[in-house]
Amino acid sequence: MTTSSASAPKRGPYAKSKQRRENIVIAAHEVFAEHGYKGGSLQVVADRVGMSQTSLLHYFPSKSALLLAVLNWRDTVTGDGGSRSPEESLASAVIRQARFNETVPGVVELYTVLCAESLTAKHPGRDYFTQRYEGLRRSYSRSFTALAREGRLRSGVDPERAAASLIALWDGIQTQWLMDPDSVDMAQCLQDYLDFLILPE
Amino acid sequence: MTTSSASAPKRGPYAKSKQRRENIVIAAHEVFAEHGYKGGSLQVVADRVGMSQTSLLHYFPSKSALLLAVLNWRDTVTGDGGSRSPEESLASAVIRQARFNETVPGVVELYTVLCAESLTAKHPGRDYFTQRYEGLRRSYSRSFTALAREGRLRSGVDPERAAASLIALWDGIQTQWLMDPDSVDMAQCLQDYLDFLILPE
DNA sequence: ACAAATATCGAGTGTGTACTCGAATTTAGA
DNA sequence: TCTAAATTCGAGTACACACTCGATATTTGT
């Protein structure tokens, strides 16, 4: 036998399945970004990927399962959070990511729209976002603490509050940027804030 | 004649109408905060206020009209934006409002949820939020400019970017607070930021 | 008290939703 | 090639939605 016990005559997904699933996730990403989770429909996703709604449900058993797949896919695609090399500074990684985000407004929109929507009752994305925020705060908090040890954090700055504030500023500036991209310079706002918190070497 | 031309035999709303409309708006406020605009339904609002869905539509001709009424009502209730006395400092007004907001999580939730939802396609709240952000940025920008004239703005700080950043920080910290109220101190984060921007007298 | 304007609602309309079922088609391993 | 598994989809289900219509009940100015 190749896998598992003899009483399980399974063969696994066919060759094109992987590509098919990814196409669905990408289409769903667009639809959820444009209309939100509640506002987006499986039918529209199916139309966009060129298959029937029934076939779509063969790959993802429910709408909420599709949402979670979209959120997890987003994580793997965007070099998100702690994926910076040990040499790169926190500030440089943040600014680099912010500049990159300007080139993918759809990704920013998905994140901003679903994050707030996940605050509503029984939203399937709730756990994803709460865990993500916990992780992000811990990660940034550690970075600020490390900077403090080197004496490079402005005195009086609390690492945990600074972590939450940095994330908050980032999220909020993205919202304004989505409303009117010309009204605000995301990277510059983050740069200003980090220049204040972090002292030069 | 009392009002308008003779060919308009109107009598106007009855006595209890005003109260009725306000009850509807309050119920809608709760429902939209809990479920968002798309997620909330007229039936649930009608149930909560104790009337039929049809009667509700007598007061507000459409769901989107009800949403706009809710948003405008929110403005009049929360002492919002520029309603501070000339003596009170910008910082003190911001912190006071932030502390007040901790006592009305439903209002914060409505704002955060609908603001992000308004980014989605053809959302009826879009104009409200874009205009609100424009107004808020202009107001804060003026305050920072005034402080700069008194030499009380940290050198290198751009008033317009500082205005956008302050709003962004505020919005973002509210999101984190809604997800987990214990994870963050909204007023303290704003205080930290303002203490940096604004020099003591 | 009377008549007209307002308020209330039951019943219905058309549409969209996520999701199910069963049958036909395609693929892959032997 | 042959068979069983994986894939596709048309048809249908049950329900929720915003909104309409017309008829009834209530309020108000005179």
* Rounded CA separation A163/B169 (Å): 12
- Cα(A72)–Cα(A40) distance, integer angstroms: 18
Per-residue model confidence (pLDDT) at position B76: 92
Q: Is the dihedral of CA B85, B88, B94, B100 positive or negative?
A: negative
Alpha carbon of B6: minimum distance to chain A alpha carbons (Å): 47
Tell me what pLDDT residue B4 has: 42
Q: How many CB pairs under 8 A join A and B?
A: 139
User: What mean pLDDT is predicted for residues B10-39?
Assistant: 97
pLDDT at B106 over 90: yes
State residue A80's pLDDT score: 61
CA distance, residue B16 to nearest chain A CA (Å): 32
Q: Which of B39, B165, B173 sits opposite A120 (nearest CB)?
A: B39
A51 beta carbon < 7 A from strand C?
no
pLDDT number for residue A182: 97
What residues in A contact B171, CB-CB < 8 Å? 168, 171-172, 175
Domains of chain A, earliest start first: 17-74 (1.10.10.60), 82-197 (1.10.357)
Closest alpha carbon to C1' of D11, residue: A54
Helix (H) or strand (E) holding A149: helix A126-149
Query: How many Å separate Cα A59 from the centre of its chain?
Result: 22
Q: What are the phi and psi torsion angles at B97 (to 5°)?
A: -65, -40
Chain D nucleotides with an atom closer than 7 Å to a protein C-beta: 4-11, 16-22, 27-30
What does the DSSP assignment read for B52-73? Answer: -HHHHHHHSSSHHHHHHHHHHH
Query: In this structure, what token pair is assigned to residue A147?
Result: 């900077």
| Gyration radius (Cα) of chain A, Å | 20
Distance in Å, residue A54 CA to nucleotide D12 C1': 12
Q: What is the pLDDT of residues B141-167, one digit of tens each?
A: 999 999 999 999 999 999 999 999 999
Q: How far apart are CA A177 and CA A107, in angstroms?
A: 13
pLDDT band at B15 (very low <50, low <70, confident <90, very high): very high
Alpha-carbon distance B23 to A105, whole Å?
Answer: 39
DSSP per residue, B117-176: HTTSTT-TTHHHHHHHHHHHHHHHHHHHHHHHHTT-BPTT--HHHHHHHHHHHHHHHHHH
Query: With bands split at pLDDT 50, 70 and 90, how would you rate the model's confidence at B3?
Result: very low
Go through B159-194 and write b for each residue having 16 or more CB atoms within 10 A of its CB, e for each that does not.
bbbbbbbbbbbbbbbbbbbbbeeeebbbbbbbbbbb
d(CA B52, CA A195): 57
Q: In this structure, what token pair is assigned to residue B8?
A: 């308009």
Q: What percent of chain B has pLDDT over 90?
A: 89
DSSP state of A83: -
- CA distance linking residue A45 with residue A62, whole number of Å: 13
Task: Please return the burial class of A57, using the count of CB atoms within 10 Å of its CB with bins 0-12, 13-18 and 19+.
Answer: middle
Q: What is the pLDDT of residue B193?
A: 98
Please state whether strand C lies within 7 Å of residue B63 at its CB atom: no
CA B25 to chain centre: 14
pLDDT at residue B5 in the model? 46
DSSP state of B82: S
Q: If pLDDT is split at 50, 70 and 90, which confidence band does B93 have?
A: very high
Q: Using the predicted structure, report yes or no on whether residue B6 has a pLDDT greater than 80.
A: no
Which tens digits make up the pLDDT trace of B121-139? 999 999 999 999 999 999 9
What is the C-alpha separation between A178 and B168, in angstroms, rounded?
12
Tell me which residues of chain A, numbers 179 to 198, contact chain B at a CB-CB cutoff of 8 Å.
179-180, 183-185, 188-189, 192-193, 196
pLDDT at B51: 98
Tell me how many degrees the CA angle B40-B43-B48 measures, rounded to the nearest 5. 90
Quote the tokens at residue B180. Answer: 């987990």
Tokens of A192: 């200003």
Q: What is the mean pLDDT of residues B176-201?
A: 97
Mean pLDDT calculated for residue range B169-173: 98
State the pLDDT at residue B87. Answer: 76
pLDDT at B136: 97
A36/B196 touch (CB, cutoff 8 Å), yes or no: no
Q: Collect all residues of chain A within an 8 Å Cβ-Cβ radius of residue B185.
A: 161
Cβ of A175 less than 7 A from strand C: no
Q: Which two tokens stand for residue B10?
A: 């109107």
Which pLDDT tens digits describe chain A residue by residue (201 residues)? Answer: 334 445 567 899 999 999 999 999 999 999 999 999 999 999 999 999 999 999 999 999 999 999 999 999 999 988 764 467 777 899 999 999 999 999 999 999 999 999 999 999 999 999 999 999 999 999 999 999 999 999 999 999 999 999 999 999 999 999 999 999 999 999 999 999 999 999 998
